[in-house]
Every structure is written in structure tokens, then in C-alpha cells.
Amino acid sequence: MDVRDRIAARAAQELRPGEVVNLGIGIPNRIPSLLGHDAGIFLHTENGLLGVGPRPMAGELDPDLVDAAKQPVTALPGAAAFDSAQSFAMIRGGHVDVAVLGALQVSISGDVANWAIPGRDVLGVGGAMDLVVGAKRVIVTMTATTPSGEPKIVRECTYPLTARGAADVVVTELAVFRRRDGALVLTELLGDASIEDVRAATAAPFEVELEDRRAD
Amino acid sequence: MDVRDRIAARAAQELRPGEVVNLGIGIPNRIPSLLGHDAGIFLHTENGLLGVGPRPMAGELDPDLVDAAKQPVTALPGAAAFDSAQSFAMIRGGHVDVAVLGALQVSISGDVANWAIPGRDVLGVGGAMDLVVGAKRVIVTMTATTPSGEPKIVRECTYPLTARGAADVVVTELAVFRRRDGALVLTELLGDASIEDVRAATAAPFEVELEDRRAD
Amino acid sequence: MTVIHGPIAPEEAVAAIRSGDTVMVGGFGLVGAPLTLIDALVEASDADELTIISNNIGEPGRGLGKLLRQGRIKRGIASYFTSNPEAVAAVNAGEIEATLVPQGTFAEAIRAGGAGIAGFYTPVGAGTLLAEGKEERVFDGVPHILERPLRADVALVYAARADELGNLWYRGTARNFNPLMATAARVTVAEVGEIVPVGAIEPESVHTPHLYVDALVRSR
Amino acid sequence: MTVIHGPIAPEEAVAAIRSGDTVMVGGFGLVGAPLTLIDALVEASDADELTIISNNIGEPGRGLGKLLRQGRIKRGIASYFTSNPEAVAAVNAGEIEATLVPQGTFAEAIRAGGAGIAGFYTPVGAGTLLAEGKEERVFDGVPHILERPLRADVALVYAARADELGNLWYRGTARNFNPLMATAARVTVAEVGEIVPVGAIEPESVHTPHLYVDALVRSR
């Protein structure tokens, strides 16, 4: 299994039936195909649809139905369409249960940087800030390090912030962290990663409170 | 013709085809039956309907269709229903062309007092303030004096204000006033009223700029 | 969150309301008011010291007027208490506290409560009795006042139609404050005239998406 | 105000736009964008020095991307310039000014512009680059920033369906910013897929009531 699929699969286990979930571009977008049909999750896309269904079959493409990545989607029975103010009212008002998103950096206190690289690419923010601030639970999915080996979990973000203290859960290919009392804590090792592996891939000290993995 | 009907009839002449009009309780509510069917006016009621039609016939009463006075109405073809936040967004945002309303007092600078009597009855404001502030044009319809003979156009309102400088036109049974450069000016005498009659029924000095009455 | 498995009894639904709670109740007068839920609150609940956010406090002995007669309302937030003379009398006798809000501000504040907006500036009410104690600020030469959002523990709303997921559709002027209140409470209970299968309300016709609705109750 | 007598030509509609104007353009990317009106603005109008308020500045050579290539955009207010690399290049070259706004704030500010709200406090963006120059204020322990409304001279929107009065109905995710922009401009022109008789859209299904719409144009 591809490393990004493994991260997506572990993040998917955080979702509970009945929850309204917004999925970001990248790793989070791999979650739908990993979820069972009976997962009971309702997908929200900030461009105005609750009840996002699978990609359309060839020949069934509807140009009026896209997701936030502007890719074609379908609407499930029971879907609701709404304007952007209503959509972000849902997000900002705390009615979206979970946002799963990618990040460039996450600080050990849960600050998230996921929209811009300093000095360039500060011209697109989209709904990133709204989602990170508004969703009841924010799950960050990312590889532990950049392609060049720099840890993405850091003491303080050096990339432009999306929001402070916003990450509730961080899932990498090595580990799951949860924010407790304002700091990310290592709660689970993934695959055959050791605590030392995680420390080596993390640019900040952290507490360890390993939990039994629930059976599922 | 009843004095209130005469006031309503004169106020109705201020309305132009295509305008969206909100009518208050009392004299303004007499306007619909005085308007021709081809007047081309669109009636808005702040409880959530644009395109208010006549009162329903007996046996056609729809409990889900009422006006702001909670009286049964009909919806004309092309009517739109909306929630209260949208309805007041229309009002506050300046999308309702005209509000015609009653008042207890209007000051010579156009301040309107139409929702409360000092010391009692300060428990119901409804949409009065929103309408007086938000409508593009505010037409006040009222008898020139109270039943006990007190003028209703005054130097300064002694009743609790609805909004400052809001009345654009005031129609009584004696006269039409228009607000120009921040002050009400007498522009038209009604019935057989003289300027002296109007002065006697008005508790503030005012300018006189009589206009030819348009033919209609 | 959406976990609705068929309608529940109104008595069960109002058990979510505890003494001291703030409760939003939809309706413009009795039009679009959740009368079955109000009756259940009157008859099957002991919760008192309630703060009621509703455009009116019912009419004498009708709708919220029943709850008023029981002496269970501590405070009302409304735009028009006057439609129930018993509410006016209760305020004047000091039996309930009254907060009067212009109707558009009332609607906007509930919307803000549901939309995560911490405050907004409106010109409505500036310079009047109803601006007392509120911050004033001039924008573009026009005085505005700062209004804060309204939120509740429980919202009781009425819709003509729901699907089995809890998507709501309102009819005519029975919509009024209901869709706003549905967004602004910890728990939203929707009383509905009918429940249709999932998919029977087209996506574009959903007025209140199901994520706002925690339970459905059928009108009696 | 509603005085619509049938659809007008797109070239006539865009004549409302003058040099130096602020123009809102609906759509999320090209979905729900009024492409016929944009083409008319590109081909049949000389207006330049425009401020464009739109979630994106089109795509390279498509939608607003055509207007960008003509050098007629002075400033863009958007949440995502990045979808058009030519817009990014134009900003970086100093050819256009860019104001980046979080998408929810962008939507809410347009709604505020149409709703007569002079400002609102949102937690979104507080403490970030995008809060620079904005007033910060803490409510209930959470930093918020004050956002001001967005308004325009002309709004160009797209709806799948209109009736002859100008009531609009949007389909699926082509709704997005269109209903908001329709409320926030001095003049609103709606490009529509079809025009149906008055009464063919039921009152509960009207998304944009006709009082917001000044002219209708058919999609080509």
C-alpha cells in the first residue's frame, strides 16, 4: 500500500458514522475510496454540497457538480445544495464535525501551516483557514517529512500560519499524535515505526502516551 | 371618502410601477385595495414573502401565508418566500424601494417615532426600525393631529425614536411634505386645506415650496 | 452530525431541555411555530427558569403563552412581546425579564450565532432606546451599533416537510425564523408535518440541510 | 425594483460597466460562472481599470482569464488566484493588485455588502498574514478580526433558470457565490440557461428573489 494511502486509511478510522466530514485536496481525497459504503459518513464540500457521492461514471458527468478541487462528483440521495455563505456558515459555526486536511507544517502546539510557502504562493488560500478554525475536529494528514527529509512537525511553524492551536489529530505514515492540554502527544505507532523513528522525523520534543489500538 | 382612505390614496400615488413596497399596519394597509391591478407594484412583507396578493376568499385560507400583521394573504404568481434573515437583509440592504408606514410623531428634520409611547408599550418594535432605516424611500402616512388635537409633526419627537432623519415623504389629510436638505418642506395641499390650516396642525415652522400636482 | 432513526415522541424530544436553559422557538406568532413541541414542553417537562428566544411569546393561552402562564419563563428575548398582553403584564409586574430587539437584528443575531460570527454592526436602532448599553461606531458617516450573536441550548423549529435524514423544507411564511434557529442551538429538534423518503427533496430545494437537525417529531 | 421585459443582449448588459468600476463575477472556477457575459465584456466593452471580485480570476485564457490577458484588470479580490497561473504572474509582475481573502470571509463579506451590515467579526484569519492591517478583538477569549463588506457597481451572475420576473434558481454547485453577489451590486445582470413563465418557479424554490435582478441575458 502506498504511503499516502496508508495515512489516508488510518485517518479514515478516526471518522464515525453520522459525522459530516470535509476532505481537503491530496491525501484526504483518498479517503472516500477507502471508506466502506456503509460507513455512514456525510461528505461536505465547501463549494456548496453536503452528501457528495463518488466520481461520476464516464458519460454521467454533470458540469454543475464539482468538489472543492473542481473535480466532478455526484450527489447522493438526500444531498443538499447551498450557496457559499451558507456553506462557510456551516464551517465557521462548528457544524462540520471533521476537517481532514494536508499540511506543510504543524507545530507541537497544534498550529497549522497549510496554505502558503514564504516568499511565493501566497495568492491562494481558498477555504483552508475557515476549515481549520471552524471544524469541530481537525485531522491533519501528511508525510512525516518533506521529500528532502525535513520534519513537518516542528517547534514553531516557519511557514505562514493557517490557524493557531487547531490540529486535534495528526496522522503521518509513522504515527498518530493527539493534541492534549495544548500539545501534541504521540499516541500510536504505525506500521513498524519505533518511538525513535518518530523522534528522528520530528523537530520538537513530545510526550508519549501510547494507547491500545481499537480493534477494527 | 374616509380621511384615512384619502391619506392612503394620496400615498399610493407616490408608488411607481416595478417598485418593491412594504406596507405597515394601519393606513398603509389600505393601499392595496386602492391600487389598480395593473399598478405593477410588488408587495413585500417582512415575515418572508415578496409578491403578496389580496386577502384570500372564504374557504381559500392558507394558514402558512400571513402578512406582518398576521392576517391571511395570498401569494401572487412569481412570489418568492424566504426566511427572516433574508427578508431583513433585503430591508437593511436597501433593496426594498419604499416603506409606507404610520407614525406617532415625525420631527421637522424627518426623525420618525412610530413604535412606542413613553412609559408604556415599549415591548413591541417588530420590524419598524429596520424598515425606517433600510427602505430606500420612507413614506409616513398619518393624520395631522392626534384625536385630542395635538400636532404630530413636531420640532423634536418626544416619543421614543424609531430612526433619525428617515422620513422622505409625509402624507396627512391636509398636506404632503417632502424632506429636502434635511428638513420637511410643504409641497402640496390636499383637499381644501390652506397653508394656514397646515400651520395650525403642525408644531414646527416649515418652508413652503408648493408643486404642481402631476396629472393622474 | 446526523444520526436520525425515525421520528421520536415530542415528550422524549423536550427532555433535552433542562431548567435554566435557553430555548429558541420558531414561528412568527403562531405561524410556523412548533405547537406540538410547545405542548409537550408545557405538559411533559418540569424545566423552568427558561430563557425563551422567540419573535413573540405566543398569544394568551396559546403556544408559548401556555408556558408563560405556568411561570416557567425567566426571560424573553423577542421583537414583539406586545402580541401577548399577558407577556406584557408579566414584564411590567417584574415576573419576567424582557430584552427587546428589532426584528431584523433579532434574525441576524440568530444567524450569526449559527454562523460563528462574534458580532456585527448594523445601523438599525442606532440613536434609539434599543441602543442603550450597546457600542456605537460610525462607518461611512452613519452611526451603527455592535450586536452580538444569539445562541441557545435547544431550538424547537417547525417545517412542513422533512426527509428521513432530517433535511427540512418550509412552506410559505411558515419559514420565518425556523431555518435560522435550526443552526444556532446545541440541540435542534424539528417538528414536521410529514416525513418523506431520502431523495424525495431535491438538493436545490433543501432549506435546512440535515447536519443541523438532531431529532424529528411529527406534528399532532 | 423589478422592471424586466424579456432578456437583453449580453453586449447591451455589459454596457453598464464603466472604466474604473468594481465588478463581481460569480462562479467557483468556471462552474457557475457567467461565461456569456464575460465574453461580452471581453469582446464588446472597452471598460478598463476594473476591480474584479471573484473567487478566482478564471483560468488561463478562459473566463476572466481572457479579461486578464487584455490587461483590463487593475485589482483582484479573490480567495484563490492560484487557479490561474497567469493571474499569479500578473500579480508578481506588479501588473495587478491582489487582495487575498479566506473563502468564507469572502462569501460573508459579499453577503454583508448586500445585507446592509457594516462589519463583522470572524475568528478566521486571526493571527495570520491575512489579518495584517485588520482590527483584532477578542470575544470570549478567542481573537477575531473585523471584516468589512464587499460591494460592487455591477454583478454578473449565472443561474440555470429564471422566470420572466427575474426570480432565479441555481443548480447543484453552480450556485456558490452567485446568490450573494446578486444582492451586493448597484446593478445585477443574470445570465441564465432558460427563462420560464412567471409562476413556474414555486415561491419556496426561488433562490434569488427578483428584486435583486436588473436584467436577464440568455447563455449562448
Are D144 and C118 contacting, i.e. CB atoms less than 8 angstroms apart? yes
Q: Residues B88-115: pLDDT tens digits?
A: 999 999 999 999 999 999 999 999 999 9
Contacts of D2 in chain B (CB under 8 A): 18, 20, 42
Residue type, D120: F
Q: What is the pLDDT of residue D55?
A: 98
pLDDT at D126 over 90: yes
Mean pLDDT score, C190-210: 98
Q: To the nearest whole angstrom, how far is the Cα of C170 from the nearest Cα of chain A?
A: 14
B57-67 pLDDT tens trace: 988 899 999 99
Question: What DSSP letter does each residue of B97-133 carry, written as one string?
Answer: -EEEE--SEEETT--EE-S-BTTB--SB-TTHHHHHH
Give Cβ neighbours of residue C188 (< 8 Å, ≥ 6 apart): C154, C155, C157, C181, C182, C212, C213, C214, C215
Band the pLDDT of B213: cuts 50, 70, 90: low
Residue B46 annotated among the catalytic residues of the structure: yes
Which residues lie closer than 8 Å to B138 by C-beta, 6 or more apart?
B98, B99, B101, B112, B131, B132, B166, B167, B168, B169
Q: What is the pLDDT of residue D4?
A: 72
Task: Provide mean pLDDT across the span D162-185.
Answer: 98
Q: Closest to C117 (Cβ–Cβ): which among D121, D175, D207? A: D121
Is D107 close to A88, i.e. CB distance below 8 A? yes
CB contact under 8 A, D103 and A127: yes
**Residues D98, D78: contact at Cβ < 8 Å?**
yes
Most C-contacting residue of A82, A96, A130 (CB-CB within 10 A), to test interface: A82
Cβ contact B–A (≥3 pairs, < 8 Å): no
Closest CA in chain D for residue A45: D173
Q: Identify the pLDDT of residue C40.
A: 98
Task: Show which residues on chain C lie within 8 Å of chain D, measured between beta carbons.
Answer: 108, 112, 115-123, 139-140, 142, 144, 169-172, 175, 203-205, 207
* pLDDT reported for residue D90: 97
Q: Is residue B47 left, alpha or beta, with left meaning phi > 0 and alpha meaning psi from -120 to 50?
A: alpha
Q: With an 8 Å Cβ cutoff, is D123 touching chain A?
A: yes
The answer to whether A80 contacts C2, with C-beta atoms less than 8 Å apart, is no
CB-CB under 8 Å, B82 with D183: no
Q: What is the pLDDT of residue A215?
A: 43
How many residues make up chain B in this entry? 216
Q: CA-CA distance, D53 to A211, in Å (whole number)?
A: 49
Which of C165, C167, C183 is most worth mutating to test chain A (most A CB atoms within 10 A of its CB)?
Answer: C165
Beta strands (DSSP E) in C84-210 are: 97-100, 119-122, 136-139, 142-147, 152-163, 168-169, 185-196
Chains within contact range of chain B (3+ C-beta pairs < 8 Å): C, D
pLDDT at A216: 46
Q: Is any Cβ of chain D less than 8 angstroms from the Cβ of B173? A: no
Dihedral through CA C86, CA C89, CA C91, CA C94, nearest 10?
Answer: -130
Q: CA of D176: which chain C residue's CA is closest?
A: C204
Average pLDDT score, chain B: 94
Query: Band of the pLDDT at B21, cuts 50, 70, 90?
Result: very high
pLDDT for B18 beyond 50: yes
Q: What is the pLDDT of residue D2?
A: 72
Q: Give the pLDDT confidence score for residue D219 in this predicted structure.
A: 97
* Cα–Cα distance, B180 to B206 (Å, whole number): 11
What share of chain C has pLDDT > 70, as a percent? 99
Candidates B75, B95, B97; nearest CB to D212: B95
pLDDT given at position B88 = 98
* pLDDT above 90 coverage of chain A, percent: 88
Mean pLDDT (whole number) for A196-202: 98
- Are the Cβ atoms of A78 and C209 closer than 8 angstroms? no
Mutation for D interface: A101, A105, A125, A133, most D CBs within 10 A: A125
Instruction: Give the pLDDT confidence score for residue A33 in this predicted structure.
Output: 86
In chain C, residues with a C-beta closer than 8 Å to the C-beta of B116 are 129
Pairing of strands D22-25, D152-163: parallel
Return the number of CB contacts < 8 Å for C and D. Answer: 58
Confidence of residue B216 (pLDDT cuts 50, 70, 90): very low
- For residue A12, the surrounding DSSP H or E stretch is helix A3-12
Residue-level length of chain A: 216
- Dump pLDDT digits (tens) for A77-104: 999 999 999 999 999 999 999 999 999 9
How much is the pLDDT for C206?
A: 98
CA–CA separation, D32 and B210 (whole Å):
52
Mean pLDDT of D144-160: 98
What are the start-end ranges of the H helices in A13-83? 31-34
The residue-averaged pLDDT of D201-206 equals 98
Which three cell numbers, joined as nine digits, stand for D7?
A: 432578456
pLDDT tier, C19 (very low <50, low <70, confident <90, very high otherwise): very high
Mean pLDDT within C15-26: 98
At residue C14, what are phi and psi to the nearest 5 degrees? -75, -5
Name the burial class of residue B198, with classes exposed (0-12), middle (13-18) and buried (19+) by CB atoms within 10 angstroms of its CB.
Answer: buried
Query: For residue B215, is pLDDT > 60?
Result: no
- pLDDT for position B101: 97
Per-residue pLDDT, B121: 67
CB B211 within 8 A of CB B187: yes
Residue C88: its chain B contacts at CB < 8 A?
121, 123
The answer to whether B43 contacts chain D (CB < 8 Å) is no
Whether B50 has its CB under 8 Å from any CB of chain D: the answer is yes
CA C73 to chain centre: 14
Q: What is the pLDDT of residue C179?
A: 98
The answer, for C212 touching chain B at a CB cutoff of 8 Å, is no
What is the arithmetic mean of pLDDT over A10-25?
A: 95
Contact B61, B72 (CB under 8 A): yes
Coil/strand/helix, residue C10? helix
Collect all residues of chain A within an 8 Å Cβ-Cβ radius of residue C107.
Answer: none
Q: What is the pLDDT of residues D6-59, one digit of tens each?
A: 899 999 999 999 999 999 999 999 999 999 999 999 999 999 999 999 999 999
- Assembly ipTM: 0.97
pLDDT of residue B122: 82
DSSP letter for C84, please: -
pLDDT higher than 90, residue C2: no
Please provide the average confidence, as pLDDT, over all residues in chain A. 94
Q: Which of A46, A60, A207, A209 is catalytic?
A: A46
Which residue out of B38, B44, B86 would a mutagenesis test of the D interface target, given it has the greatest number of D Cβ atoms within 10 Å? B86
For residue B83, the model assigns a pLDDT of 98
